Copies of this chain bind each other. A is one copy, B any other.
Amino acid sequence: MSTTDTQFLDDFAEMSTFGATPGGGVDRQAGTAADHATRRWFGEWLERHGFQETVDEAGNQFGTIELVPGAPYVLVGSHLDSQPLAGRYDGAYGVLAAAHACARVAEQLRGTAEAPAYNLAVVNWFNEEGSRFAPSMMGSSVFTGKLPLAAALATTDAGGTDVSRALAAGHRTPDGNAPRLADVSHYAEIHIEQGRTLEEGGTEVGIVHGTWAASKYRVTVDGAQSHTGATRMEDRRDALYGAALVITAARELTAEFEPGMLHTSVSEMNVLPNSPVTVARQVLMNLDLRSPDEEVLARAVELLEKRMIDVGEISRTDITLDLTHSWGLLGYQPDGVRLARESAQHLGFSHAEVMTVAGHDSTNLKDVVPTVMLFVPSVEGISHNEAEYTRDDDALRGVRLLTDVTRRLVRGDLREEESS
C-alpha cells in the first residue's frame, strides 16, 4: 500500500472517532457537538495540508488552494453530518476523499509544467441529512440559491434550537472570503453507493448519470381522540389505524410493479396525543415514492391516491396527502460522465454507469454547474445504519478516481469539451 493510501485510511479512522457509537458507526447530526468536533478536526487538517479554511453563512465549510489567481474553483466535496446511529462512510468518506484528491492534485501540479485552468476548493456541505433540521441538503440548497439563507437559519429542531444558534456553537464564524456559487466552475463528488448494483456486478467504480424520480408527501391522518377501552370498535376514528393502513398500502404498491421499479417508504411519524389509554386523534408522517421510470411513478401516485379513499373509509379518518417535494428523472451532464469514464479507463478500474436513488448535494450542484458524481461499492448496500461498510480497496480506488477526475477538471478538460 502506498504512503498516500495509508495516510487516507489513517485519517479516515481518526475522523471516525468523532461521534463514534458502540456499534461501530457515528452519530453526528448537523450542528451537534459531535458534528462541530468533526468540523474543527477537518479545519485543522485543511490548514495542515496547505488549504485556507473558510465557512459561509449557511455553515458550509471550505478549504481552498489558489493555483491561478482570480480563476473560478473546481469544487469537490460532500458532507460530514450523519443520521442518528449511522455509518462512518455516508458523506464523510466523500469529504475526506475530496480533501486528499485536491491535496494530491496540488502536489502533482507543483511537480509538472502543466498549467491549471482553475483553483481548487474542498467543501463540507452543512446538514445534508436533514434529520435534525429539515429539509435535507440544506447547505448546498442555500449555496445554489434554492433555499433562502434566512429560512435555513430559522429552521428549528424538535427541541426548539434553530440552525443559527446551532451554527454559532462551531469553531469558526462566517467568512466573507468563502467561495460563492459565482466562483465555481465545476463540482465533483464521490459517495458510497448505498445500494448493491456495483457489488453485485463486481464493478469497481460507478459513474452516476441520473437520479431516480421521486414524490415526497406529508401525510396527515385525522381521527377523533377517544378511550382505548370503552369506545366501541364501530365508533372509533383511530388515526393510528388509518396510518397503519397507509403504511401497508404504500408497501403493497411496490408489488404492483416489476422488482426494483418502485421504492416506497413511510418514515418520520408523530402520533397525537400518544397516550397509553387514548385512541390517537392525529398522525403525521412522511411518505416517499421513488422510481427510475417517471411513468411508473405517475401510475403509483395515481394508485396510491385511489387507495387513500378506501383507507379513509375503512378507518373513518380523513387522510390528506401534501406533496412537499418532487422531481423527475434528472440527468448529470453527459460530458462529465464521459470525463469520469475516461478517468476510470485511464486507471484501469472496471466501471458502470448507474443511477442514484438517494439525493446528494451533487443533486443540487448539477443544476447550476457541470458536475461529476462518482460511487464506490457499499457492502450489501447497507446505509443509514452503523453496519454501513465499504472495503478499503474500494475506498482507495475511489480516492484515486476522484483525484484523476479533479486533475482533469482543473486542467480544463471539461471546458474544452464544452466549447468543442
Determine if A277 and B131 form an interchain contact, defined as CB atoms under 8 angstroms apart: yes
- What sequence of 0s and 1s flags, for each residue 270-285 of chain A, a beta carbon within 8 Å of any chain B beta carbon? 0101111111110000
Q: Does A302 contact B (CB under 8 A)?
A: no
Q: Does A389 contact B (CB under 8 A)?
A: no
**Distance in Å: Cβ of A103 to nearest Cβ of chain B:** 30
Partner of A244, one of B193, B226, B248: B248
Interface size on A, as a range, is 35 or more
Determine if B83 and A277 form an interchain contact, defined as CB atoms under 8 angstroms apart: yes
Determine if B248 and A233 form an interchain contact, defined as CB atoms under 8 angstroms apart: no
Q: Does A266 contact B (CB under 8 A)?
A: yes
Partner-binding segment picked from A6-14, A115-123, A235-243: A235-243
If A232-B195, A263-B232 touch, whether A269 touches B248 (CB-CB below 8 Å) is no
A residues 196-229 in Cβ contact with B at 8 Å: 196, 212, 214, 224-229
Interface-central residue, A229, A279, A281, by most chain B CB under 10 Å: A229
- For A134, give the chain B residue with the smallest CB separation: B276
The answer for the CA separation of A267 and B226 in the assembled complex, in Å, is: 11
Determine if A229 and B359 form an interchain contact, defined as CB atoms under 8 angstroms apart: yes
**Distance in Å: Cβ of A151 to nearest Cβ of chain B:** 17
Partner-binding segment picked from A31-39, A164-172, A328-336, A380-388: A380-388
Set of chain B residues within 8 Å of A288, measured between Cβ atoms: 228-229
The answer for the CA separation of A82 and B233 in the assembled complex, in Å, is: 23
A residues 250-302 in Cβ contact with B at 8 Å: 251, 254, 259-260, 262-269, 271, 273-281, 286, 288, 290
The answer for the CA separation of A383 and B226 in the assembled complex, in Å, is: 5
Set of chain B residues within 8 Å of A231, measured between Cβ atoms: 194-195, 263, 381, 383
Set of chain B residues within 8 Å of A225, measured between Cβ atoms: 83, 85-86, 384-386
Partner of A85, one of B238, B245, B247, B273: B273
Q: Does A129 contact B (CB under 8 A)?
A: yes
Q: Does A114 contact B (CB under 8 A)?
A: no
Determine if A240 and B267 form an interchain contact, defined as CB atoms under 8 angstroms apart: yes
- For A383, give the chain B residue with the smallest CB separation: B227
Determine if B229 and A358 form an interchain contact, defined as CB atoms under 8 angstroms apart: yes
The answer for the CA separation of A117 and B203 in the assembled complex, in Å, is: 91
Determine if A83 and B273 form an interchain contact, defined as CB atoms under 8 angstroms apart: yes
Determine if A235 and B381 form an interchain contact, defined as CB atoms under 8 angstroms apart: yes
- For A211, give the chain B residue with the smallest CB separation: B229
Q: Does A107 contact B (CB under 8 A)?
A: no
- For A248, give the chain B residue with the smallest CB separation: B244
Partner of A384, one of B131, B235, B277: B277
Q: Does A416 contact B (CB under 8 A)?
A: no
**Distance in Å: Cβ of A86 to nearest Cβ of chain B:** 8
Determine if A290 and B229 form an interchain contact, defined as CB atoms under 8 angstroms apart: yes
The answer for the CA separation of A193 and B232 in the assembled complex, in Å, is: 12
Set of chain B residues within 8 Å of A266, measured between Cβ atoms: 240-241, 244
Q: Does A357 contact B (CB under 8 A)?
A: yes
23 contacts between A and B (CB under 8 A): A83-B277, A84-B273, A85-B273, A129-B275, A134-B276, A193-B230, A212-B229, A225-B384, A226-B382, A227-B357, A227-B384, A230-B381, A231-B263, A231-B383, A233-B251, A233-B263, A235-B381, A240-B247, A243-B244, A244-B245, A267-B277, A268-B274, A275-B384
